[in-house]
Structure 1
Amino acid sequence: MPEGHTLHRLARLHQRRFGRSPVVVSSPQGRFVDGAADVSGRVLRKSDAWGKHLFHHYDGGRVVHIHLGLYGTFTEAAVPLPLPVGQVRMRMVGAEYGTDLRGPTVCEVIGEPEIADVVAKLGPDPLRGDADPEVAWKRIAKSRRSIGALLMDQSVIAGVGNVYRSELLFRHRMDPYRLGVHLGQDEFADMWTDLVALMKVGVRRGKIVVVRPEHDHGAPSYGPGRPRTYVYRRAGDACRVCGTSVRTAELEGRNLFWCPACQR
């Protein structure tokens, strides 16, 4: 599943390529026909993101709300676009560029006031200037769930996925099973500051960069075109810092990765 930095990059890209101009919107697949007709030809005023949710704001107060889920992707191309290939839920065509959306979990038209209903279910987004980490801290400090689970809970912090979760905990030598109520406020503040910096790098560079320069050597990344990580998807491999075998376990339905020596 794409992590929050990907949605913020998409928001910036769509703002740059389609913003402040009329956009032709269609649904070649047929599952978004009414929604596409509702916004097609309108001016895209703004594109922004909150966590893993993308919002296209059109004139008239209409908003296309998108959540990519596990399989959703956008593909971009210069106009004229070729004929749609595969299950294209939504096609956007501007003056110079177009984009096709395939496989999202959510693609719907809502009104501007309804954005508040979506955001009300989310925690602060580290990539937003209006993010209030105190909101996340209060939820963590009173919870008896593990910090490994809390970081993946979008109602606690919006936009964190499995890569950032695993890597942030390693960078702070944090036992992923430590309970939220046992986390110190200064510890959380340090983690939040680091998370903001890491995710900003993700937006700027278009990829996750989490390994510090002094550790950026040895075993390659876990797959072609994937980021080099400390622990994520490195189960059984040697820790880049201490050499201990990286462990994995399922935590609330998602695979967790950690070094049992570094993260005591």
Structure 2
Amino acid sequence: MQHILVIGIGAGDPDHLTLQAAKALARTDVFFILDKNEERQDMIRLRRRILTEHGRPGHRVVGVPDAERDRTTPAYTAAVDDWRHRRADLVEQLIAEHLGPDETGAFLVWGDPSLYDSVIAVVDEVLARGDTTFGYEVVPGISSVSALAARHRTTLTRVGRPLQITTGRRLAEGLPEGVDDVVVMLDGQAAFAGIDPDGVEILYGAYLGTPDEILVAGPLAETAPRIRELRDRARDRKGWIMDTYLLRRSTS
């Protein structure tokens, strides 16, 4: 039977690759790449390095342009559903045309496949259609959330208190009630600058695990302007930003 691997490859440091992921790479015949128009050259170079160092001799790489997603519509959920359906079309076509009998194919996922990534849902949809049959497994990776906590030498949770992971789009509505520790991802608009900073600390990281890494920590009221300045300068220089942060309310 054909087999598919969904492999987490870490947040940006090539040493984030786990032993399990390295072994999965070494048994893959063909790597499927959904190329994104906005994908950055340094991330492409890192992916190539990982495949060169850990891929088996003779492995193949097949790439196709990723499906476009409407990021302007207010119908966010419907837009994501439509995007995933069209991604499933691409994945089904890749497997049918490029994966031979008894071969193993793999999709590489930045960070961890279980955290704000659609590949697992897309693979499940392809299987649910019933036209393609294959086995598949997920190999976890080191997420930007884990990397953030490690770089700031902290834990994400405090004793007896919940942790919530959310997006910048949802944070723009305000800090959630009843939760004092909130990890924010996918924040394209610096939503942290729009919330009440009273009693809130931020632990911020951008380009985690890369030579361009930015780390800032401190009271939100004092550090938000500095973070915005560093963030804007870095995005102007690189053309993109990839950041994650922890907001922590004081409980004293």
TM-score (norm 1): 0.27
Higher relative contact order (CA 8 A, sep 6+): 2
TM-score (norm 2): 0.28
